[in-house]
Amino acid sequence: MKRLIIASTSTLYNGNYLDYILPELNSFFKDVKTLLFIPFARPGGISHNDYTSKVQEAFNTINIKVEGLHTKTNIPEAILDAEAIFTGGGNTFVLLNNLYSNNCIEALQKAINNGTPYLGTSAGSNICGQNIKTTNDMPIIYPPSFEALKLINFNINPHYLDPNPNSEHMGETRETRIQEFHTQNKIPVIGLREGSWLEVKDSSIILKGKLPARIFEKDKMPYEIETESRIKF
């Protein structure tokens, strides 16, 4: 059974890394002893080792050992052998480029579709969709393709921000950017606000967290869905 948690973020404002979702992860990763962490997104240019150490510190609280994928000799084999997998946030273009260059795409698809539990936050959530064209990140590197893992039949926009009517910022809003995406693409997009996540169990996808999500479909007005809503396109 395919099982994923696709989260908007790893850290809430004034919170510690993953602490808002750790109770959920404690249940989600029940009986998991060792977690394979994919540090390739490198937020702020952090090293793979330092990023893995940060994740280990969080997972210490639920007694799970973390191993960095970058330490493995045979990376695709390590993915297929993993008890569970977590891909952290950072730059989605850097992440996807590393996944392609290390031959991870097919291994991840096979492992997750065969039931290996998967957690993604931010960039690690972006790659669950059909492609990464709705990321908020700068394209600082050009991956071989924008095509992603296709584990769900829509795209994610993590860290979704609502328009602020009092803002003096003159740039495009997040909603405008997604509407621009739909001038060239038909794929639905879910704007995930901070602290929200999607719980995926095979074909069942449910919005979790305290906040509603904003749904964008081509040629339709954006609309809201409440937490605990089932999502199906």
Please give the positions annotated as active site.
122, 137, 159
* Strand-pair partners of 156: 190
Give the tokens for residue 83. Answer: 């008890």
Give the tokens for residue 228. Answer: 């605990």
User: How open is the CA angle 59-116-188, to the nearest 5 degrees?
Assistant: 95
Give the tokens for residue 8. Answer: 């908007």
Residue 89 near residue 42 (C-beta atoms within 8 A): no
Rg for the chain, CA atoms, rounded: 17
Q: 């997009």: which residue's tokens?
A: 189
Q: What would the DSSP string read from start to end of 31-56?
A: T--EEEEE-TT-GGG--HHHHHHHHH
Q: 């908007």: which residue's tokens?
A: 8
